Structure formats: structure tokens, C-alpha cells
Chains A and B, each alone.
Chain A
Amino acid sequence: MSDSPIIEVQHITKRFKGLTAVKDVSFSIKEGAITGMIGPNGAGKSTTFNMICGYYPPTEGQIFFRGQDITSKKAHEYTNMKIARTFQIMKPLKNLSVLENVMASAYFGHAAAKNEREAKEKAMEVLQFTGLYEKRHVISKDMGTPDQKRLEMARALVTSPELLFLDENMAGLNPAETEAAIQLIRKINESGVTIFLIEHIMQAVVSLCEEVIVLHHGEKIAEGTPEQVMNDPYVMEVYLGTKKEDAAHA
């Protein structure tokens, strides 16, 4: 684990027809760590996330992956660079089994399977790792939210990423399911995958992340360890602030 950042975001700004969704945000993601991004609804988290993942180009600013400028890379080129992501709204192949879903992903990325057998073997491995092995023959649309979230992760993991982006992977889970998801994310990180996640659930962020970035109204307002961030007066204000203070910052 080196100290050099795996991702470096420099002054990115995104404007949609005059509305500035993200304004001059810079931060870096440490290799091997779990970094979190938090912020109230509409803070620009997803926009930032989508820019880093190549879904839309930033209006201004640059993004570097291991020193290489990836600002203009297309979304589909990311798994070849060993970067994978999940979606907040699960997007499985609804009518295929869990195994087939993971196999579909195994065919792509930098370590793409060359044939059906290789795809199946890789898929089986990831299914065991993510705890979906027993349910591999279930049709994915028939599964509950927790398992679908797991499937999202399995589909990303089977492309053998070194950097994994997780978009609200615990939204809609109950405390026990959240705990299981936290365990899984930690396990993925321990296997050597750097993780960057957006999360609303504070418990998860505090227990997982080494570093946290806080966005509010499209701007970065704090970063540091979870303790530092949680004790930051402005962050407390944003999260727990009264009406008057909210108005002052709007």
C-alpha cells in the first residue's frame, strides 16, 4: 500500500444549463483505503461520482488515476483500467439467474473471461466471496433488496477491479443487513481493493472509512477522519442545523 493517491480530483465543476451542481471540488483517494463521501440530499454527491466514473464530463477540472489523466475517458473504458462501480438503483438482468448475471460481467474488463467455462468459474468464485453462492440459481428479479445490492457488488467485483466505487450500497437495508454489508465491504477492502463510497448511513461511514469528504450545495465543506468530520462545527450545522442557519447558507 503506497501513500500516493489512486485517484486525484482537481477542481472539478459541473454546470447543467446554468445550475452549478458541483463547484470546484478537489480531493484524493488513498490507495488501499476506504474513503467515504457524505452530504445531504442534493449536495452533488452523485454528480461528482458520475463524473469520476466517466458518465458525464466535468465542465471544468481534471481527474487523474495513478497519475494518468482520465477526465475524458468513457464509462465503458473503466473496467479495463481496473475500476468498477455499482449503482444506487440496482440494475440486474432481471430475467436471468444470479449466476448468469455475474457471468455476464465476467466477460468484460481487463481480465475478461475468454469462454463460458472461464466465466462460470470466475463467477462461482465471486459468488462464494459475496455469499450469494447458495442463491446462484435464483432469478435475480425474485430476490430481495439486500441480495440485489450484493449482486450489484458481485457484478462489479467479477471484473477484478483494484478500485471499487459503491453508490449508496446500504440504502434501504435494516440494521442487521447493514452490518452484513459492512462486513462484506471490509472483506473486499482487505482483499486489496481500494474503495470509494457514497453513503447516507453514518454508522457505516464511521465504522468503515479512514477518510471522509463532506459535500454541501456542490462544494466540499470538510474532509478528514470520521471523528474530525463529525466534530466539525459547520458539518454539524449542515446535518443538524436549525432553520435559521439553513437559510443563512442557502
Chain B
Amino acid sequence: MAEKKRAVRIYHRNLAMVLGLILLVFILIPVFVKSPYVLNVFVLVFYMSTLSMAWNLLGGMTGQNSLGHAAYMGLGAYACCLLITKTGANPWLAAIFGMVVVGLVAGIIFYPCFILKGPYFTLVSIAFGEALRQFIINSSFFGRASGIGLPFGKDSWLDFRFGSKVPYYYVGLIMVLGVYLLMKKIERSRMGYALRTIREDEDAAAAIGINPTRYKIMAVVVSAMVAALVGFFYASYIRYIDPELMVQAKSTESVLPAVVGGAAYVEGPLVGGLIMIPLSEFLRAKYSAILPGINMLMYAVALLAVIRFRPAGILGWYMHSNVKTFIDTKLLRKPSVDVLEEVELAQYHKEEV
């Protein structure tokens, strides 16, 4: 038993070391990389991955394929910017305000919409996003098509306003990590199990006592609030928003990291984001001036290739590959499931005594 415990301890230590090392690399990147262009790509990776994680809670975990997440993000950005420009509120407070507003809007609007299943839900989410965008274009309160700018000024943490990209890099990193931990927590909680049961079959979910509508509303509200947070971050970073932020194509872009990375996994959007966004940016920088459209064309080819040949996404493929077996056993020295479980249960008993 002692030996098994030691094996588990070693595994946990190795795992922590690897994860810590990855985190350290991300923390140190701005120290060594000074190019604003590269830092911008990372900031983009951070907020797009966060948005994709928000989508994944609803799409990947609950099986409700929304194609309107750009609308939540845009609405969040608008709520923040309007509060800041109209009342002079502090941006951090505005962020909370934006999340609450979007959470409420999503909860109320989608309450009747959840009777729609499968493709119909997707259609209503698209229509909702487009309707919202058209509403903003036609509303002088929202600044119509010309959008809203945030004031420029001296660097300040209080106003979340910087000339350099480094502070945004770190805030973005914290945001992506925080949302990742939240999603991980949800996955292992009652809500996570409820959502996955609903994804498999709503009747079966009801049979064990899950109220499908209630949990779907919870999922859409949390998902929309995270998207609103991304909207706040985007607005603070770019310092200008307009209705273009909410076009259909942006909603699609927010889903791609999850689909490419593996929508069944919480980590999917992170893996997909880390691969697809730098790829897209690289193609844009290198080719778009020579031949407009070639970057998105190659991006589309990459997407189709993943869906056609690795339908479970990159992570789905990794999870069943020899690479994982090799990394688990040789590098991390992962003990067998039985050993892990035995030690976990022993831990429970020790706590009881």
C-alpha cells in the first residue's frame, strides 16, 4: 500500500511539474518576446480560447449547438462600453455589470427557446444574434453602425488601459486560466454530470431526476456571462467596438477552436485555439496581402481535414493514441487506474478516522 501511495504521489508530482512548466513558459513569454505582433497573437489566443470554452459548455458539454456566441460577447462589450462612456463608471465594475446584463438577457430570451431541439436551436441562436446586431445598428443609443470608442489616456490599472500589450497579455492569461478552472470545476460537479446526461438523452436525464430546462438555462447563462467577460476584455484591449463584432462569422470563429481541439473535452478549445489562431494569423500576415482570401481558404481546408479525418478533434485523437500512453507511462509514470482508485478510497477512509 505504501508503495502504491508513493507511486501516486510521484505521478501527481510529475503532473504538477509538467503543468507548472507549461504555465511558467506562458508567464515568461513577454519577458523574452518583445514583438507586439507576437504578443497580440497570444492575446488573441487567450480571448478566443476563452470564448470557445464558453461555447463548449453549451455546445460540447450540453449538446446545444449555439451559433450566436458573438452576440453575447458583443452585447457584453456594448453593456460595458455604454456604462463607461455614459456614466464614467470604473471598467472593472462595468465588466461585472456587462456579465450580469448578458446573463439575464440570455436566461430570459432562451427560456422559451429551449423547447427547440437540435438544428432548430441552432437556427434560433443565429436569428437571435442577427436580430440583436440589427437592433444595435438601428439604435442611436448603441451608436448605430459607427460603434463606440473607449477613452484613451495614461496607463492605469484602475481604468484597465495600457499602451503596451504586456498587461493585456497577463490579464488575458489569468482570464483563460480562471475560466478553464471554472469549466473543470463544472465538469466534475453535479451540473457537469447533469449537462452531459442531457447531451446524451433528455428523457434519460429526466428519468434520474434532472430537470433538463433548468440545467440548460444554467448552462446558457454561465456560457453567456463568460462570453460577456470576453467582450469586456476585447473592448478594453481594442478600445473600440462596432456591430461588426457580432456578425455570424465571428460566432463561427468562436466555435472552431472547440471543434478542432475536441468538443468533448474541457481542454479542447485551449488546444484548438493554440493551434488554429496562430495558424490563421500566420496565414493572414504572410499571404493576405499577396492573395486576399488565401489565409481563410487554408484555414477552411485545415478545418475540413480535421472533421473528415479526426472527427473527435485533436484531443480525441490524442486520448486514444500511443503518444498519450507513452507520455503517461514513461514521462509522468502514471500508475494504473486501479492503483489510483485504491489510494483515493484509502484517503477517504483516513479522513473519516
Contact = CB atoms under 8 A, between A and B. Distances in A.
Tell me whether A and B are bound partners.
Answer: yes
Interface of A: 53-55, 74-80, 84-87, 91-96, 100, 103-105, 107-109, 112, 116-117, 121, 124, 137, 155-156, 159
A187 to B, nearest CB: 21
Contact of A76 (B189, B212, B264, B338): B212
Contact of A91 (B189, B194, B200, B210): B200
Contacts of A156: 207-208
B292 interface: no
B308 interface: no
B155 interface: no
A94 B200 contact: yes
Given A103-B193, A104-B196, A117-B348, A79 B204 contact: no
A117 B190 CA distance: 12
Contacts of B196: 93, 96, 104
Contacts of B337: 137
Contacts of B206: 54-55, 74-76
B193 A107 contact: yes
B54 to A, nearest CB: 22
Contacts, number: 72
B197 interface: yes
30 contacts: A53-B207, A54-B206, A55-B203, A55-B206, A74-B211, A75-B203, A76-B212, A78-B209, A84-B208, A85-B207, A87-B203, A91-B204, A92-B200, A93-B197, A100-B193, A103-B193, A104-B197, A105-B208, A107-B190, A107-B193, A108-B194, A108-B210, A112-B190, A112-B209, A116-B188, A116-B189, A121-B348, A137-B337, A159-B208, A159-B209
B201 A79 contact: no
Nearest to B192: A104
A60 B236 CA distance: 60
A159 B212 CA distance: 17
Contacts of B209: 76-80, 108-109, 112, 159
Contacts of B348: 117, 121
Nearest to B348: A117
Interface of B: 188-190, 193-194, 196-197, 200-201, 203-212, 264, 337-338, 345, 348
Contacts of B197: 93, 104
Contact of B208 (A94, A100, A108, A124): A108
B129 to A, nearest CB: 30
A162 B203 CA distance: 21
A78 B203 CA distance: 12
B264 to A, nearest CB: 6
B347 to A, nearest CB: 9
Contacts of A108: 190, 194, 208-210
Nearest to B316: A95
Nearest to B338: A137
A78 B212 CA distance: 14
Contacts of B190: 107-108, 112
Given A104-B194, A156-B208, 20 more contacts: A54-B206, A74-B206, A75-B206, A76-B209, A77-B209, A79-B207, A79-B208, A84-B208, A85-B207, A91-B204, A92-B200, A93-B196, A100-B193, A103-B193, A104-B197, A108-B194, A108-B208, A108-B209, A117-B348, A121-B348
A87 B208 contact: no
A107 B200 CA distance: 17
A85 B208 CA distance: 8
A91 B204 CA distance: 6
Contact of B193 (A76, A77, A104): A104
A84 B193 contact: no
Nearest to A54: B206
A88 to B, nearest CB: 11
B200 A109 contact: no
**Residue from the set A105, A117, A121 with the largest chain B CB neighbour count within 10 Å:** A105
Contacts of A75: 203, 206-207
Q: Which 3 A-B pairs have the closest CB atoms?
A: A79-B209, A91-B204, A108-B209
A91 B201 contact: yes
A75 B197 CA distance: 15
A48 to B, nearest CB: 16
A6 to B, nearest CB: 18
A76 B211 contact: yes
Contacts of B264: 95
Contacts of A116: 188-189
A76 B189 CA distance: 19
A94 B200 CA distance: 8
Given A93-B196, A121-B348, A84 B207 contact: yes
Nearest to B214: A76
A84 B208 CA distance: 7
**Residue from the set B201, B204, B205, B209 with the largest chain A CB neighbour count within 10 Å:** B209
